[in-house]
Amino acid sequence: MSDTILVINAGSSSIKFQLFAVADDNTLDRVLKGQIEGIGVNPHLIAKDSEGAILKEASWPGPDVPAAPEALAKVVEFLAEHRGGKLPIAVGHRVVHGGIEFSSPTVITPHVISVLENFVPLAPLHQPNNLAPIKTIVQRLPHLPQVACFDTAFHRGHPELADRYAIPEPLYREGVRRYGFHGLSYEYIAKRLTSIAPHLARGKIIVAHLGSGASMCAIKNGCSLDSTMGFTALDGLPMGTRPGQLDAGIVLYLLQQKGMSAPEIERFLYNDCGLKGLSGISNDVRVLLLSEDARARLALDYFVHRIALMAGSLSAALEGIDGFVFTAGIGENAPAIRAAVVRRLAWLGAELDERANEQGAQVISTKASRIECLVIPTDEELMIAEHTLECLRPAHGRQAELTR
């Protein structure tokens, strides 16, 4: 039985996991993928093999799986059954914020965990949930290597002008700067382009990672130059429940005039704004596309409008544009949104191939288009697995057995 790398992407109510087999030449093959969702309410686990066949499906009462440690235990129990008790050689984790301290994937130690906990206020929806399974594994399997892979790392090579806010130097030095997020997704797209469109991989492209969380990134010759997200994951594009770019005076207004406390403002900005706040209906683009309510149309039009504005801004950062890539849940699966965006980019020379777009083709621009528009599914988990294997390469081959 081959060695494996386990990848974990933990959220507030779910844990997504994938298992990759490590071949003799250190290439990775996806063995299975799954998730346990509804943690604490209606916990449900489903796991599928690389062909999509269901390997296991199970549900439990909410009290049986109240939080991340219990959910992770269910995942480990399934893997023990499926793999005959053999542990992976390492576990790779998506961690949203790496601050100024971490610019590359990092082997997890107690010191690393303590530093990452400092960034919880900068990513309150993500960071605590990212760290929860890490801590659980440290407690239960302390000798199993773990690697943190950061969404901020890909952007750490930004020019200083792209990282700065117009605030005093001491704040910048302590880490108040533009970080950018979704870096694992952007890194994967940049790497994928080297094989499917080498001319674009060497050129100037904008990648739109459009999902419940959404951002855009200007990439030149495979490197991030600028991004729509900043100090936290609130900035830039409107998202499912987050507002995106916002006048800081609005926060002062909520604090001073509306009497909201800091925790109340945090909950409001992370949970009640974005497409949900604009539409008053849903944060789900699929629901809004099917709705005939004018507020749903307003929310979607605003979403497209802001994407178009940010595309102009990032094109200026690149000093030109050769390609535009759609990725993530909305980018990969919502042809109506893609069509609306490409039409708004006509001034840059983009021309939509309507049929290719509706069919979900890889290239959705016409041959006459001055900008090549593509749809490329992202694979953050593969990037995490590759980084994890690279970090642990000297230790590759160590074996361990699951203990129950």
Are the C-beta atoms of residues 212 and 242 closer than 8 Å to each other?
A: no
Q: Which of 3, 151, 163, 353 is catalytic?
A: 151
pLDDT at 273: 96
d(CA 196, CA 193) in angstroms, rounded, equals 5
d(CA 355, CA 353) in angstroms, rounded, equals 6
For the stretch 89-141, pLDDT in tens is 999 999 999 998 999 999 999 999 999 999 998 888 889 889 989 999 998 88
Query: Which residue did the predictor score with more confidence, 117 or 40?
Result: 117
Average pLDDT, the chain: 91
Find the radius of gyration of the CA atoms of the chain: 21
In degrees, to the nearest 5, what angle opens at C-alpha 231 toward C-alphas 230 and 235?
Answer: 45
Q: In the predicted model, is pLDDT for residue 398 greater than 80?
A: no
pLDDT at 394: 58
List of domains in the chain: 4-156+381-395 (3.30.420.40), 198-380 (3.30.420.40)
For the stretch 330-386, pLDDT in tens is 999 999 999 999 999 999 999 999 999 999 999 999 999 999 999 999 999 999 999
Q: How far is CA 144 from the centre of its chain?
A: 25
Are the C-beta atoms of residues 222 and 194 closer than 8 Å to each other?
A: yes
For the stretch 204-263, pLDDT in tens is 999 999 998 999 999 999 999 999 999 999 999 999 999 999 999 999 999 999 999 999
Percent of the chain with pLDDT strictly greater than 70: 97
Tokens of 21: 């087999």
Q: In the predicted model, is pLDDT for residue 81 greater than 90?
A: no
Q: Is 151 a catalytic residue?
A: yes
For the stretch 155-171, pLDDT in tens is 998 889 999 999 999 99
Q: Can you say whether the dihedral through the CA atoms of 178, 181, 184, 190 is positive or negative?
A: negative
Q: How far is CA 47 from the centre of its chain?
A: 21
Which residues on adjacent β-strands are paired with residue 204?
Answer: 220
Helices 127-140 and 68-82: crossing angle in degrees, nearest 10, is 60
Which residues on adjacent β-strands are paired with residue 91?
Answer: 6, 146
